[in-house]
Structure 1
Amino acid sequence: MGEISIKINIADRIYPLRVDMAEEEVIRRAAKLINDRIKEFQENYAVRDKQDLLSMCVLHYATGMLKAEGKSSTDEAGVVKVVNELEGMLTEFFNK
């Protein structure tokens, strides 16, 4: 697919971007999530500085990403263990 030019608003600043058409929806949704989180932080904390709000937002999403990566690694290890057990059972069954 081709690239398109879009403008994304994050924390009241406009960012012109060139993105793949396939990624446009994801990028727009990400910007909306960021702006919604900033608004939530602004309403719940006595923080008005956009830089501080952006930093809090980045910390929130980075923490979530790291937790998801950890869970994914744990899940992957569990799947590998089950596959190895199944492989062992199949090997044992067919060698009888």
Structure 2
Amino acid sequence: MRAMLGDTVVAEADKDDLISIEGNWYFPPASVAWDLLSESPTPYTCPWKGECQYYSVADREKVLKDRAWAYPHPYPTAFERVGKDFSGYVAFWKEISVQD
């Protein structure tokens, strides 16, 4: 699967390596083009997943603020709920399309 911003591949991995949480596909950290992401100071803590790290996503034409996020250190109880360890996995908001 690919996460695309226009013609730019932001992340790419086999579907079996992704994790689906609440309708969002989370990509393994090694599959993300980190040179296109920059950490955001926007704070957020999910009641059941834990503290979130937002990222802005950029291609050659634009920067989309807070359109990617990850949970670097999710709550241990979140692993039970999801069924896997998703530490550091990255999800993307609607402007970044996820395609099979």
Q: TM-score normalized by structure 2? A: 0.23
- The structure with the larger Rg is 1
| Structure having greater relative contact order (Cα 8 Å, sep ≥ 6) | 2
More helix by share: 1
TM-score (norm 1): 0.23
